Amino acid sequence: MRIRLCLAALSMAGGAGLATVSTSTASAAACSDIDVVAARGTFEPGTLGAIVGDPVYSALQKKLTGKNLTSYKVNYPADLSLTSAAQGNADLVNRVNSQVASCPNQRFILVGYSQGANVVDNSIGISSDGAVVGSPIVATIPAALEPRVAAVLLFGNPIRALGKSVTGTYQSRTIDFCAKGDPICENGGNDVLAHLGYTANADAAAAFAAGKV
């Protein structure tokens, strides 16, 4: 019920009807200093995600003025199907592997909102299985490439409602926003609109990432 309410709120915000599945693949793109890999939320519109990905990328461009940035929209359904997050997990890891093979000096900032946070969690080895629109891990960024991930930016992360968080290798490089009352990331939360307000955290997320690059 809670996820359906959040999706209804997204629709009222003008988003759900515009959602599309990217036809891009995770094949290597042009090399840059930083590749921002963003996994959007369920039915979220926008290039990288109207609520989180797009405003965060814009904020990163302003904070990291001395760096050349590229972006990648994780190619996955971002719907309510049982394999959606798993597809995103596989595509995100494939993107990192493909880029590293072609761009030996490139680093990454991973961005995930709502279901997209599940995608990122899985990709860094933290299972989202059992969370809202979560899945078992199907791929992880290889240990040898972990230092290439400069920062992990998470918003409305469903695993938090299970009492879980990012631990281990990536913990110090992760910032994980959960708005008060957000029912997707807060166990017992009942403020559906809180899940749609993470644009307000874009600058703080970018500042955190800038300190890790």
182 catalytic residue (yes or no): yes
The mean pLDDT of 165-187, rounded to a whole number, is 97
Name the residue with higher pLDDT: 66 or 123.
123
Under DSSP, is residue 37 helix (H, G, I), strand (E, B) or coil? strand
Q: Which of 71, 84, 114, 123 is catalytic?
A: 114
* Band of residue 7 on the pLDDT scale cut at 50, 70, 90: very low
| DSSP codes, 57-126 | HHHHHHH-TTS-EEEEE--S--SSSTTHHHHHHHHHHHHHHHHHHH-TT-EEEEEEETHHHHHHHHHTT-
Does position 60 have pLDDT exceeding 80, yes or no?
A: yes
Q: Round to whole Å and give the CA distance between 201 and 199.
A: 5
127 catalytic residue (yes or no): no
Does position 34 have pLDDT exceeding 50, yes or no?
A: yes
The mean pLDDT of 133-152, rounded to a whole number, is 98
* Band of residue 13 on the pLDDT scale cut at 50, 70, 90: very low
176 catalytic residue (yes or no): no
